[in-house]
Amino acid sequence: MSRRTFRLTLMLTLIFSPIKLAAQPQQVTADSVATAQANAQAAQAQAASAQAASTQATAQLTAAENAFRTALTNYSKAPAGAAKTAAQAAVQQAQKTVQQAELTARNAGGQAATARAAAARATAQANMAQAMLARQTAAQQAAAQRAAAQQAAAAAKAAPTTTAPAPAAATASTSASTAKTSGAGAAGASGNSATNEFNTVLGDITGNGTASGKGVSGTNGAGTTGAGASTAGANAFAGNTGAKNGGASGSQPGAGSMQQAGASPGEGSARKAGGEFAAGALGIGQSTGSLLTVYGCSRMGTQIVCDTDFSNQDNSVTQVNSADQWKDVYLQDDAGDNHMRSMSVFENDNGDQRTQITLPYGEKSRYLLVFNGVPATVKTVKLKSTANVLDVEGIPVTDPSQATAQSGGAAGAQGAPGVQQATAPSSKSRAKPPRS
């Protein structure tokens, strides 16, 4: 066959030979991983044995070479005659021994190298099988978690929406009883607002105490005034009850107005979108997957909570975690000092705080941002983000505890019997803006 014919045949063979596709990856089990590890251990044992045999063969070769050199020395010193002939035969025999030892050492060295390579391959296969099993287990767990989350979301959507009953009027406290005797006001609603639950959440997290609230109301159309209080907690925020449930001071008998003491802008409204901003909004920030609408900030001691709406703008995500959203938001006080966000929570329709909620694309939820260590002298703040997608300035910081103390005193002094009592706004009316 000529060279040209050989090349043509080889080319045709390569062109028309079937191509073997890569096999699909097989499922790895714990048994297969154990088998791979056992094979790797056996291969390592064989490699160790082959290495020992190679070492022994090398030692034998060294001994044979030393014997050959000794035979050559004896041959050079042997006198002529029979002794010389015997020394020459010994040299020839030693030379053969050296040749045989060299062959044995080469074979043993090759076997040791092959065994080491096989052990390395077996170890690599065992490690690969173990890694594949770990990835496979993690993928199965993730799939199970996704399935459980989808089932929970489907169950939540399928469940009928129930309206929580309004809290019953609490038994009159000592101060309320005194006000009732003098005709100034009736017993206030118990401090069971959404903000008190938020205070409890923050108190549990910081370990600084639990929050409680009480209300004092006038019967002359003054409205209910709530005052949040915090026990044994320097940083436990508990002052928003007054902001949520603050009524009129009662200085205008029979007016029945619903003025909010210390409430953030837009809090008394339904927050319906209109024009560029939602009603009462102070500013808006937009990131890749969400929209943040700022309504105001209030304080308790050195802790400030900013009231915002979170709108989901990512159509591929429905499970939203509060810790993962707007992590780069920081508060800048009127002295120019920056304060990073301490924590954040979502508030649902019932006024409960959650760190994770189901929020479909385009829907909103109330979102509370908490900042610690803000001096009590700060009156206005700015909300900014390191990504420069949020910049809301001139936000007044209200103090609900002071506002409710003033409005509560006025209500007790000016209230008069015989006029219908105004009802404090429920936290549910402010808990979540209408979904658009």
Query: Closest by alpha carbon to 298, among 375, 373, 393, 396?
Result: 396
Give the pair of three-digit tokens for residue 331: 């508060």
SS3 state of residue 14:
helix
Torsion of CA 45, 48, 49, 50, to 10 degrees: 120
pLDDT tens by residue, 135-144: 888 988 999 9
Give the pTM.
0.36
pLDDT tens by residue, 312-326: 999 999 999 999 999
pLDDT tens by residue, 324-343: 999 999 999 999 999 999 99
What's the gap between Cα 106 and its chain centre?
Answer: 60
Contacts of 398 (CB under 8 A, 6+ apart): 243, 262, 263, 264, 296, 297, 298, 299
Give the pair of three-digit tokens for residue 278: 């939602």
Q: Give the helix/strand (H/E) hosting 283.
A: strand 283-286
Average pLDDT over residues 94-115: 93
Partner residues linked to 277 by β-bridges:
274
pLDDT tens by residue, 259-312: 333 334 334 334 543 334 678 899 999 988 899 999 999 999 999 999 999 999
Instruction: Look at residue 415 and tell me whether its pLDDT is greater than 50.
Output: no
